[in-house]
Amino acid sequence: ANWSITSADWELLPQGTNYFTVRVYDLAGNSSTIVDVFKILKDTVPPFAINTLEATEGPFRGTINLSWIVPNDIGSGFVEEYLIKIATYSINTEEDFIKATTLYTTITPQPEGTQITITITGLDVETTYYFRIKCRDIVKSPPNPYYNWSEMSNLVSCRPTKANVWINEIYAYGSSGSDWIELYNDLPYNVSLENWQVLYKNDVVWTGTADDVILASQTFVISGLNLDHTISTSVVLRNPAGFVVDKVVYPVHNKDVSFARITDGGNYFEFDPTPTQGYLNYVSTSIKINEVNYASSEEFIEFYNNSNSTITFTGFIRNSSGSKFKFTRKFYPYFISGVDFSSTDEDTGLTYNEIFGTSGLATSDFVVLENTLGQTIDRVSFEGGTKLYYNSDGVLTTYTQSAQANLSSPQTIGRIYDGVDSGNNISDFTIYPQPSYGRKNYYETLLPLNTIYYPTNNTVLPRRFKFEVELSTDYSKGVNNTVWFIRTGGEPDKYSPHIFKLNEFGLDLSSYSVIQTVINVASELEDVDGHKLSTSTIYKVIFNTENEYGVSQQIIISSITYDATIHNVVLTDVSLPYANEEKYYPIIKILLENSSPLWSNDINLSEIKIKFLTPDGSELTTQQAKDLFDEFCVIKDKDGDGEFYQSIDNETFLAQMVKEEFNLTNGIQQIVIDNIDLVSPQSFATYYFVVKISSYATTVSPNSFKVKLQAVTTNVVWVDSVSNVEQPSDIVDTLEISSPTIVRPKKPPIGTSWPYNIGRITNVNNVYQSFNGNIYAFYDDGTVVMLTSTGVVVSSFTASSSCFSPILSDNFTGETGYIYFGTKDGKIYKNLASDVSQNVWIRQLSEEITSEVVAYYYELPAKIYAGTVDGYVYKISTGAADFWTPAVQISGSVVKSAAIDEGFTQDGGSGVSSLWWGTKNGFVYRLALQDGNILSSTQVPSAITTSIEYDAGFYNRSLNSLNVYFGTEDGILCCRYGLTLSSVPVGWTDVNLNSKINNIAFDNSNKLLYISCDNGVYKVNANNGNIIWYYPTRSPVIQQVFIWKEPYVYFVTLEGLLYCIDRDTTQLQPGYPILLDAVPTSNLWYDFLNGRIIVGSSDSKIDVFKE
């Protein structure tokens, strides 16, 4: 039978176990009793409240572990059910408890005293959660659901675990089987990955084994995968309990990049062009991005070393475009460095703008600083309208920690406190109105402004350059006291920017309120990274100073161009073997070449130092120098022909030190340049160190001297004309100059006006003296001057062109009172000899006359001969009429003078009636005097350079050999039989003089030839070509040797020396050589009437010296 009790009956039952005895009756009233047939346990007492509840971070991200100990239960003694409440507020009252969210979870009942732990998942890691629990035993008392529940447990709260085992980086761009997934464990303990799984496209692609363990704060790479980058797909990480520990969706991409968290375990993803398989994505170091200028055309990323260690860092910067830029920088403790628009990638050689584009960084972008492993060591993000990062769902999302984007130049973003990094750009960075590249962002005091006097804007710095700086205060305790050179144009500089520490630059940082001048040679000056400035590069210069109290305002100098050119100097010994008293004597030619580009600075000679020695090598004393010299001079080669002339004017003196100023120290005299002569770029200037010999130098002891310039010393100093800084030069070898012989020279005749100077610079081409003593001078500018024997002008004439080769009719044409001469433009003039200003006639030839104009005094009636540039030979009468019609043409320009045999001899014998002339083509022609027919010719390999000399035997027919003599450009003295020109006379051998032959003087009475050559004078036997003697000279003997004043020969050299030597012994005669003031350009003439030698020079001067 079934029995039940009513509520009223239940209420009558006492708490605890109630035993029931059953007595039964039948209809007859009989009964039967059964004692303790059943019992009823009345349990109205709930379990004790849980007071051991604990909430701790769970095993992975978003989880909390709840644990407690099963409490005691009076009655049934067994807790069967738990009511778990969770809230984001504190659960303080029953009402709070009821309103809180119930967590439904299956918990297997455990005996009293057992600890129970459950894991709650899916929680927000940034939220604090509050928990309380009630429990009840096995006896439930419906219908009241809250009946028999215990009191609330103790209140606990906790934030979920932030750490996790993350999907940290996914590489899906590899070839088949080469893709990989990197996990990261930021839990504080190692995690076994046994039975963990990775799902790709919902398929398990990897299951962990017992050997797979991911260490705390480390990565674990799952490789050998085959992922597809052309689709967007999820990757899921699941633990052995089946919980999804992490899930990442990577987007479609077509570049060789990974999809990686920007910080290990962080919320934001990017496409990383430098995957870091097996390495942390982010590692913090002391090198921080300190300031970013992304809004101007002169972008920069400034770095700061926030440590007390010196670090040489090699790494990359990159931005959202995926471009990366490699560089190396040295950081001293708390030092600033940078990469900017001027920088060059050290691997590829590409410039900053070639890598990041012409616009550089975007106004919504990020800058990442990476090490060589590709790990981020710092990142600054400035996100504007363009989102920069993805979330774990592969969707671009807003970055909530961005620094300010969309700035306008000149604004920059920079850390508020240099090098301080909380990891949150929005709080670490602020906006600065002006860039402060190279200077600290934070300072307590703005110090007084420094002053840079040099260089200024738009300055060219030479190889050795100066800075003139006045510091405003003591900066000796500052760190970032630097000067930066940042390329802005010109030639490339792959090491820009250059950072120089000011103390290494030469400045005394403790010295202030005084102007400091520091000089550096950039080729020897290395910046903090070990590099040097680049030549022809334009820089912006930034001057930074700081001390323990603050910083000073930056000084910026624009358009500083560095020129590393080493200029060239060539020192040449130009001393002569002879010097004349009271004459300037050249010793050294200084060729100073400004090798700089055209945009650079001028240079100028500054000083020279010369060591004087006695002939035996002792150091010359000051007094000895005063005895030998009147002046020490530096003279400019004014006309630029590289030759020194005695005709010095005041404009050519750069320095002129008189003997009262001499002060030799150890034989060395310093000569400072007084008159600045600028040498512009890509040009040169020639100077001479010259001494003026005293009027009594031949009478003192020593009566000569030597000069020496030591090698590898600053004997010749030049400076940059803008900064006046001495410039380095190539090493100059030792230059020793031998002792000259000092001569007291012949003087002009006393009581005369000699020398005569026309008053303008022009060559004297010829001088000529008539029988009455008048002297005629013919000039290169077309002037003809007639002078008395004392040098007084009688008359003058101006021809149309350079005039030369006079013929006095009294001597050569049988006429009286005329003078003929030719001009370069092809004219022959006939003027009165008594008054040269009076012209009789002018005959115009067809072209330039290249020969001398000649006549032969025994050809009567007289004829005038001339040869032209195209080989025409003219024969005209004294009345200007053509004798040959037309003119005869031979091959080559006709040169020098012809040899003429008029057809008879003095004793009545017959001649050959011929003319011989040479040409530049190497031909010698024999022409018939009557009609100009070419009778014979010969050609030699080189140009004819002399007049033709003919052994006609006029005075003694027995001597008439009919031989012709001529010399060539290649130095061959030739002799040919005059009639045929094809044969060499018996006994003669052509002579190789190894130097250009300039002319020949023939003493046919003695059968002697005197040869003017570039290397000296030769005396040669005309019968056989044997050299009798050779007189060497240092420069060419340029005119015909004058041989008609026995027993001497006279000649002049290109360097301006007039010699007189004995024609037999070659002994130099007293008073010779005479040092002329300029290059002798005329013939030599000897005035037999007055015993004087006459010569004209390139300075328009006619010198007359009394024998």
* DSSP assignment string, 920-939: TTSEEEEEETTT--EEEEEE
Per-residue pLDDT tens over the stretch 891-922: 999 999 999 887 644 444 456 789 999 999 99
**Class (C level, CATH) for 568-743:** mainly beta
In the three-class reduction of DSSP (H, G, I as helix; E, B as strand; rest coil), residue 161 is classed as: coil
Over pLDDT 70: what percentage of the chain?
A: 94
State phi, psi for 525 to the nearest 5 degrees. Answer: -100, 120
Q: 1096: closest CA among 1078, 1081, 1077? A: 1081
At 962 the pLDDT is 82
Helix (H, G, I), strand (E, B) or coil at 373: coil
Q: Per-residue confidence at 515, pLDDT binned at 50, 70, 90?
A: very high
Give residue 764's pLDDT band: very low, low, confident or very high (50, 70, 90).
very high
Give CA 874 to chain center in angstroms: 63
Looking at residue 144, its pLDDT comes to 56
**Which range (23-27, 498-502, 684-688, 1082-1086) has the least confidence?**
23-27
Sign of the C-alpha dihedral computed for residues 103, 108, 112 and 118 taken in this order = negative
pLDDT tens-digit profile of 811-852?
888 889 999 999 999 999 999 999 999 999 999 998 999 999
Q: What is the pLDDT of residues 869-893, one digit of tens each?
A: 999 999 999 999 999 999 999 999 9
* Structure tokens, 1104: 């007359």
Q: How confident is the model at residue 650 (pLDDT cuts 50, 70, 90)?
A: low
Residue-wise pLDDT for 1023-1038, tens only, equals 999 999 999 998 999 9
The two beta strands, 584-594 and 568-573, are antiparallel
Q: Where in the chain is the domain with CATH 2.60.40.1260?
A: 165-272, 287-432
* pLDDT recorded at residue 516: 98
Query: What average pLDDT score do residues 435-462 get?
Result: 97
E strand spans, 268-310: 269-272, 287-293, 300-305
pLDDT value at 1055 more than 90: no
N residues, the chain:
1107
Task: Spell out the residues 6+ positions from residue 311 whose beta carbon is closer than 8 angstroms to its own.
Answer: 286, 287, 305, 330, 331
Kindly report the CATH number that applies to the domain delimited by 165-272: 2.60.40.1260
Q: What is the mean pLDDT of residues 287-302?
A: 97
Q: What was the pLDDT predicted at 711?
A: 66
Which residues are CB-contacts of 582 (< 8 A; sequence separation ≥ 6)?
Answer: 630, 692, 693, 694, 695
Strand bridging mode 197-200 / 233-238: antiparallel
Mean pLDDT of 754-775: 94
Round to whole Å and give the CA distance between 450 and 476. Answer: 14
Q: Read off the pLDDT of each residue in 472-494 and give the average, rounded to a whole number.
A: 97
Please say whether the beta carbons of 452 and 430 come within 8 A: no
CB distance 576 to 604 below 8 Å? no
Task: State yes or no: pLDDT of 468 exceeds 50.
Answer: yes
Tokens of 761: 């610079």
pLDDT of res. 200 = 97
- What per-residue confidence (pLDDT) applies to 1016? 97
Cβ contact 924:917 at 8 Å: yes
Residue 846: the pLDDT is 86
Domain 54-158 has CATH 1.10.10.10: no
pLDDT for 953? 52
Task: Decide which of 719 and 952 is more confident.
Answer: 719
Specify the CATH number for 445-562; select among 3.40.960, 1.20.1420, 2.60.40, 2.30.130: 2.60.40
The whole-angstrom separation of Cα 632 and Cα 653 is 11
The reported pLDDT for the residue numbered 1 is 55
Q: Please give the pLDDT value at position 999.
A: 97
pLDDT: which is higher, 144 or 173:
173
pLDDT, average across residues 185-211: 96
| pLDDT higher than threshold 90 for residue 1082 | yes
| pLDDT, tens only, 675-707 | 999 999 999 999 999 999 999 999 999 999 999
Q: Check: CATH 2.60.40.1260 for 287-432?
A: yes
Mean pLDDT, to the nearest integer, of 447-471?
A: 97
Name the residue with tokens 């709930």. Answer: 46
Q: Are 842 and 868 in contact (CB under 8 A)?
A: no
Q: Which two tokens stand for residue 618?
A: 């002792």
- Choose the weakest-confidence range: 39-48, 689-698, 761-770: 39-48
Reported as a single tens digit per residue, the pLDDT across 14-30 is 666 677 777 788 888 78
- Residue 956: what pLDDT? 47
Mean pLDDT of the chain: 92
Q: What is the pLDDT of residues 375-389, one digit of tens each?
A: 999 999 999 999 999
How many Å apart are CA 732 and CA 570, to the nearest integer? Answer: 8
239-293 pLDDT, tens digit each: 998 989 999 999 999 999 999 999 999 999 999 999 999 999 999 999 999 999 9
Tens digit of each residue's pLDDT (9 = 90 or more) over 146-192: 668 899 999 999 999 989 999 999 999 999 999 999 999 999 999 99
Predicted pLDDT at 709: 82
Sign of CA pseudo-dihedral 354, 359, 365, 366:
positive
Question: For strand 101-103 and strand 79-87, is the pairing parallel, antiparallel, or unpaired?
Answer: antiparallel
Q: Which of 11-25, 393-407, 657-671, 999-1013 has the lowest mean pLDDT?
A: 11-25
Task: Give the residue-averaged pLDDT of 789-794.
Answer: 96
What's phi and psi for 730, nearest 5 deg? -65, 155
pLDDT of residue 15: 65
**Residue 849 DSSP symbol:** B
pLDDT for 61 equals: 87
Closest CA to 348 of 377, 316, 319: 316
714 three-state secondary structure: coil
**Cα–Cα dist 1051/460, whole Å:** 52
Q: What is the pLDDT of residues 314-363, one digit of tens each?
A: 999 999 999 999 999 999 999 999 999 999 999 999 999 999 999 999 99
